[in-house]
Chains A and B, each alone.
Chain A
Amino acid sequence: MSDEFYVRYYVGHMGRFGHEFLEFEFRPDGKLRYANNSNYKNDSMIRKEVYVSKTVMNELKRIVEESEIMKEDDKLWPLADKVGRQELEIVYGDEHISFTTSKLGSLIDVQESEDPEGMRAFYYLIQDLKCFVFSLISSHFKIKPI
């Protein structure tokens, strides 16, 4: 049961610099993969992977659990569009969510949506997850991930 856990997040768009995106996943065995492709100013693709410990995975679980994201549903969320797309996929025990929505500019987009409570859970979880991943990647590889 404790190993039935997987998290993946993607945000990206197709634009004048091609397909620009950020994506990361935590696999059940602790493998953290991080990819960031920005072609702006000829930046090249960053791809990093490292295994994180059980304690890191447990902290990730706690962050997911506290967000209560597994109770939400994306059916009323804005659809992905030209501006961009976000995907959040989580397996937690026997529950599996795979949410997609547009990029969210700010909390105003959240408040004005048809499901402000669900989108708020998503909005803050994404920020906490990104923050967690950037800290892990930058402390391990000594790069600025964004």
Chain B
Amino acid sequence: MADTYELDLEPGADDFAEDEMMLDDDTTAKVKSHATKRKGRGFNDHESSLSKEKFDTVDADTVGNAQRSVEGWVIIVTGIHKEATEDVVEEKFADFGEIQNITLNVDRRTGYIKGYALVEFKNYDEAKEAIDECDNTNLLGQTIHCDFAFVKGNTSSSKSHESRQSRRGRDRSKSPRRR
């Protein structure tokens, strides 16, 4: 049954132009239809609130593929040792700029660190340097991975719905083919 979706496996970038909202839902629908093993009571009575209304976004402010947050640039760090502390994380990243915020969540079952942190920098350059310098490095004997947490995505915001065509055109001519 899943074989019938074969032709959708490699959507080219230009396919996105038609209708992005449709594409959105299609991608999700496609992923769902690919699954062959289903389990649970929830398959018949689901009406999600997430498909219809307009959602707020932070205004598009991007550099490369990274999306700025309201107060700065947030990076995600994964692979953090379960006994790490906020001080350890802060020390690792303090050299790159002023850290505005660190979120280090615990595993609800074990009480240890879950393994990821969100670190917020004021400026893009600081965040970028932190990522470049710390990705695939060692922290407390484990290899950590660093990346921007938020990215541009296919659509940038529901607010800019009207200007989508023109903005899209501009994006295309301006952006280099590869980074």
Interface, chain A (partner B; CB < 8 A): 3-6, 8, 10, 21, 23-25, 27-31, 33, 35, 37, 45-56, 58-59, 62-63, 73-75, 87-89, 91, 93-100, 124, 127-128, 131-132, 135-136, 139-142
Contact = CB atoms under 8 A, between A and B. Distances in A.
Given A49-B158, A55-B145, A89-B46, A97 B108 contact: no
B169 interface: no
Interface in B120-167: 120, 145-154, 158
Nearest to A67: B109
Contacts of B76: 53, 55-56, 59
A16 B149 CA distance: 38
B170 interface: no
Interface string B40-76: 1111011011100111111000000101011100101
Say which size band chain B's interface belongs to: 35 or more
A133 B87 CA distance: 23
Contact of A91 (B35, B57, B153): B35
A136 B35 contact: no
Contact of B114 (A63, A98, A139): A63
Contacts of A54: 147
B78 A58 contact: yes
A98 B38 contact: yes
B116 interface: yes
B178 interface: no
Interface string B164-177: 00000000000000
Contacts of B48: 8, 10, 23, 25
B92 interface: no
Given A28-B28, A51-B152, A59-B115, A74 B74 contact: no
A37 B96 CA distance: 39
Contact of B32 (A6, A29, A59, A63): A6
A109 B146 CA distance: 38
Contact of A4 (B34, B105, B146): B34
B150 A29 contact: no
Contacts of A88: 42
Given A24-B50, A49-B158, A94-B34, 8 more contacts: A35-B53, A45-B53, A50-B58, A59-B116, A100-B40, A124-B108, A139-B69, A139-B103
